[in-house]
Amino acid sequence: MDSQRNLLFIALLFVSFLIWQQWEGDKVSQNTTTTTQVSQQADMPSSDSLAVTGNSNEQAKLITVKTDVLDLRINTQGGTIDEADLLAYPAELNSKTPFRLLETTPQFLYQAQSGLIGPDGPDQKSRPVYSATQQEFILGENQDELRVPMTFVNEEGVKFVKTFILKKGQYDIGIEYKVENPTDKTLTMNFYGQLKQSVKLPEHRDTGSSNFALHTYRGAAYSSDETNYKKYSFGDI
């Protein structure tokens, strides 16, 4: 009798587990993307369906930026890094194809986004379309630094220059904003940055480490103005 009771109890636990797993799956399916916050002092844009604003007759396009270690595609809509290839690291052993860290496709999204938000920030209610003087920026052999400026002017005549700063042999990318305000109004805005990634991984990024019960853990990292980027192991969390 006790063995039958134990079997019924185990069966009940298993059914309850399956119900919980389905409920968790339904929750995940309602959210197609996750974001990793870097810096935020105000509410970040919450939807990709926001209206797009830009300079007159300006269309969004991809700008190619290359250094000795990075090959980037920067979208002039918002100044988002849509793609990033690590030239010194192969995608696979003995492959000549570089590892793609960031990518933007209809099936998968992994981007580095940044902007200015707040009452007067150009990214608060829309993604501004910047203009660039070149389609391609390449770090020369005798150069130590490459600067990629993009410009946006809003309806009030306020000029925003967003400049990406890349250095020889380095993977970190600096972002500099210059705001020229011809009005008498005091402008209020804050910088934000985030990594935006789809929840569901495509086959070429799926390591197969997750099982039927658990989603893959992507890892945790922390940085601040005083301390450099550092990734923490499970034992430190």
pLDDT in tens, 144-178: 999 999 999 999 999 999 999 999 999 999 999 99
Kindly compute the dihedral angle of the four CA atoms of residues 150, 156, 157, 163, in this order, to the nearest 10 degrees. -20
β-sheet bridge partners, residue 128: 53
> What's the pLDDT score for residue 6?
55
Count: domains in the chain: 1
Q: What is the pLDDT of residues 31-43, one digit of tens each?
A: 444 443 444 455 5
Distance CA 183, CA 68 (A): 42
Does the residue 26 lie in any domain? Answer: no
Phi and psi based region of residue 23 (left: phi greater than 0; alpha: psi -120 to 50; beta: remaining): alpha
* DSSP one-letter string for 163-223: EEEEETT----EEEEEEE--SSSPP--EEEEEEEEESSPPGGG--S---SS-PPP--EEE-
**Tens of pLDDT along the chain (237 residues)?**
555 555 565 666 665 665 555 555 554 444 444 443 444 455 566 545 445 555 545 788 999 999 999 999 999 999 999 999 999 999 888 889 999 999 998 888 899 999 999 999 999 988 999 999 999 999 999 999 999 999 999 999 999 999 999 999 999 999 999 999 999 999 999 999 998 888 777 666 665 554 444 455 556 777 777 777 666 665 666
φ/ψ of 81, rounded to 5, equals -85, 105
Question: Whose CA is closest to 42, among 110, 146, 112, 125?
Answer: 125
Does the residue 71 lie in any domain? Answer: yes
Distance CA 167, CA 145 (A): 4
What does the block give as tokens for 232? 């923490």
Does the residue 164 lie in any domain? Answer: yes
Does the residue 44 lie in any domain? Answer: no
Does the residue 54 lie in any domain? Answer: no
What does the block give as tokens for 189? 């805005």
CB 123 within 8 A of CB 45: yes
CB 127 within 8 A of CB 75: no
Does the residue 68 lie in any domain? Answer: yes
Does the residue 20 lie in any domain? Answer: no
Mean of pLDDT over the chain: 79
Distance CA 163, CA 149 (A): 4
> What's the pLDDT score for residue 93?
86
Distance CA 236, CA 72 (A): 33
Question: Whose CA is closest to 161, among 147, 140, 171, 173?
Answer: 147
Residue 185 sits in which domain range? 62-199
Radius of gyration of the chain (CA): 23
Does the residue 141 lie in any domain? Answer: yes
Q: Can you give the CATH number for the domain in which 186 is found?
A: 2.70.98.90
Q: Are strands 70-75 and 80-90 parallel, antiparallel or unpaired?
A: antiparallel
